[in-house]
Amino acid sequence: MNGDDGRARGKGDARVDGDNGHPGGKSDEGRPRGKSDDGRRPGGKGDDGSPRRTDPPAPRADDSSRRGDDVGVWDDGLIARRVSENAAAAAAEQAGAREARGPGAQPAATLALDGPLRSRLDALRELVGLSRARLDSKTLAEAGKVLDEAASRRRLSGRHTVVAIAGATGSGKSQLFNALAGVTISETGVRRPTTASPIACSWSDGAGTLIDRLGIPGRLRRRPVQSPEAEAQLQGLVLVDLPDHDSAAVQHREQVDRILTLVDAVIWVVDPEKYADAMLHERYLRPMAGHAEVMFVVLNQVDRLPGEAAELVLDDLRRLLDEDGVALGEYGEPGAAVLALSALTGEGVGELREVLGQFVAERQAPARRIAADVDAAASRLRPVYTTGRRAGLSEEARDEFAARLADAVGATAAGEAAERAWLRNANRACGTPWLRLWRWYNDRREPPTGRMRLRPPADEEATARQRVEQAVRTVADRASAGLPVPWAQAVREAAVRGAHGLPEALDELAARAGLPPGKPPRPGWWPVAVLAQASMTILQIIGGLWLVGQIVGFMAPNLGVPVLLMVAGIVGGPVVEWSCRMAARGPARRYGQDAERRLREAAAGCGRARVLDPLASELLRYREVREQYGKVVGVG
């Protein structure tokens, strides 16, 4: 009885496998699938590590006496095949439920990333933090999502690889899913759409948290029913059958889009009729071109193509992928694997299983997926962080800004006024008494010249304000040149905030740093010049009094000496004054230049504190984010 039961179950299982794309029920080694030494179906491993066995459906009581005689009729009958398929599917469902519960499962090791990828994630996190005050949340949303998903994936198992099977309606992805699992798990049929909810199939324990992350409930979790050899080949694989991405049901497309952002890799299943579908290429393949290393593109249903038509379609598919920017993994180069198979006949399924097993065994898919997500986020952020042009505020622009502010406060005019004031003071100190008297008389009649007016006219104030505003706009434009739009706007806003109240501050500086109060300082030779001028005046007075004394007869007549004294005083006074004027030009110029320099420095300091320093802060922040962005993209 046991032997007959074993033969019946073995043949029934072979029939199930044959229906799933393995004609003849043969395994890769050539022996019938489902047979083992004890005649029971190898059902993989349970939660405790022991082989899981799947019992056939209980036979009816009236069939027990003729079971051994009617083995062939039982196995070839439609009812028998359905019963065997249902039993296998039920066993897989029970295993999936146990996997979902996982009471005895050991915690899986978390995902470990290499140093460069961790550095890139840290740089992206720093980049988002530095940019929150300058960029809107919508711009940073994708980068934040990448960081969240990467952190979530790192906390989960690193021994498992989650691979999704995606495709259009009628492409045969569920059929391929069943062929890889070795048992009918996902429903197939002519009704469209067939797959309404994603179904997960795990080849090993410990993947429950990964499937939880996908939002797949326990009732939709399965375990494959295969031989130990086939199970070991795909050890660590979690395969997910997705709904049709072109389904008429909106919730189906939403599920596809959501899960595609969470899986480690994806198998795109196309058929000879829809492999060039615009929705597939424009909505999925082209945007995911940077994820080529975690993509498989499978041309299914090649059994429908006669002769060399399959190779022609495959070549055209490669051409379309190349136009989409998807790198092809050929000749040892990293990229997407492109395969042709037939899930119905089993042609090429073994090759896909072998390639997929090697891919899962490397355990690099999660890290590659995270790296590709970082690349995609960095590519979309590129316009807001770099323009390819040199940015910054040159020393020439700073000097020009300071010069414009100095002109606005009248630094040059203030220096010239200081120079004239110094010369006027020298002339008054060293000039002849008669000329000083004349100038005093003229000063009483006319307003003084060469002095800065305490309050300029209204039109001059308006002109000075316009000069300040123009200087601020110019330096802001130069500082923002070459910056991306958000950072250029931030630089201009900083300049505008700093320019608020700048004209008034410059007016106060002009009043404080202009001409010093009182008379200009005198050099050491001024007392000598004043003594010489006084001597010339005394000679004139003595000569004049001498002549008057001779005229009135008080003194003896002698015109030579008094006339000589008067001529010496009259000629010597202007000579001394002219000499002092020549000698005073140098000190007066230096005095004027010093006054101009003080005013320029004061204006430059005010402009630097109010405008240039805020601009430098914005440029420094941009430089920091540029450095972080360079780390994110792996440059410098």
Q: What is the secondary structure of 419-437 as a DSSP string?
A: HHHHHHHHHHHHS-HHHHH
Please give the C-alpha separations between residue 422 and each of 276, 484, 514, in angstroms, as whole numbers.
Answer: 89, 52, 14
Cβ count near 248 (within 10 Å): 10
Q: Which residue is associated with the tokens 């000569």?
A: 543
Q: What's the CA gap between 274 and 283, in Å, rounded? A: 14
The C-alpha atoms of residue 210 and residue 155 are separated, in whole angstroms, by: 10
Interatomic CA distance for residues 305 and 385, integer angstroms: 50
Binning pLDDT at 50, 70 and 90, where does residue 134 land?
A: confident
Q: Span 446-454, mean pLDDT?
A: 49
Query: Which pLDDT score, from 0 to 100, does residue 17 have?
Result: 36
Q: How far apart are CA 239 and CA 200, in angstroms?
A: 6
pLDDT at 435 over 90: no
Q: Positive or negative, the Cα torsion across 222, 227, 229, 230?
A: negative
Cis ω for the linkage preceding 503 (within 30 of 0): no
Q: Rounded CA gap, 589 and 597, in Å?
A: 12
For residue 92, the cross-strand partners are none
Using one digit for the tens of pLDDT, what is the confidence trace for 278-333? 999 999 999 999 999 999 999 999 999 988 899 999 999 999 999 999 999 888 78
| Structure-token pair, residue 211 | 């499937």
Place of tokens 């050099």: 523
Cβ burial of 184 (10 Å; 0-12, 13-18, 19+) is: buried
Task: Output phi, psi for 244, to 5 deg.
Answer: -70, 135
Question: What percentage of the chain reaches a pLDDT higher than 90?
Answer: 36
pLDDT(515) > 50: yes
Round to whole Å and give the CA distance between 498 and 612: 8
> What is the number of other CB atoms lying within 10 angstroms of the CB of residue 334?
10
Q: What is the pLDDT of residues 472-483, one digit of tens each?
A: 999 999 999 889
Structure tokens at 21: 């794309």
Please answer whether residues 211 and 200 qualify as being in contact, where contact means their C-beta atoms are separated by less than 8 angstroms.
yes
Say which amino acid occupies 17: D
Residue 37's CB is within 10 A of a number of other CB atoms, namely 7
Across residues 422-443, what is the average pLDDT? 69
The whole-angstrom separation of Cα 265 and Cα 259 is 11
- Cα separation, 291 vs 210, whole angstroms: 20
Domain spans, the chain: 159-362, 395-441+459-633
The helix (H) or strand (E) run that includes residue 533 is: helix 526-551
Q: What DSSP string describes 51-82?
A: EEEEPPPPPPGGGGGGTTTTHHHHHHSHHHHH
* Per-residue pLDDT reduced to its tens digit, 367-383: 999 999 999 999 999 99
Strand order in the sheet with 337-340: 221-222, 199-202, 237-241, 161-167, 265-270, 295-299, 337-340
Strands 199-202 and 337-340: what pairing? unpaired
Q: Which CATH number fits domain 159-362: 3.40.50.300, 2.130.10.30, 3.90.650.10, 3.40.50.360?
A: 3.40.50.300
* Phi and psi at residue 203, to the nearest 5°: -90, -5
Mean pLDDT on 514-542: 71
Per-residue model confidence as pLDDT tens digits over 226-235: 667 767 788 8
End-to-end CA distance of the chain, in Å? 74
Nearest-angstrom CA–CA distance, 592 and 514:
10
Q: b/e for 501-538, b at 16 or more Cβ within 10 A?
A: ebbebbbebbeebbbeeeebebeeebeebbebbeebbe
Residue 33 predicted with pLDDT over 50: no
Task: Tell me if 48 sits within 8 A of 64, measured CB to CB.
Answer: no
Question: What pLDDT, on a 0 to 100 scale, did the predictor assign at position 326?
Answer: 94
The dihedral built from the CA positions of residue 128, 130, 136 and 139, taken in this order, carries a sign that is negative
Contact 328/322 with Cβ under 8 angstroms? yes
What pTM was estimated for this model as a whole? 0.67
Quote the mean pLDDT of the chain: 77
Helix (H, G, I), strand (E, B) or coil at 607: helix
Q: Angle of helix 395-408 relative to helix 502-513, nearest 10 degrees?
A: 70
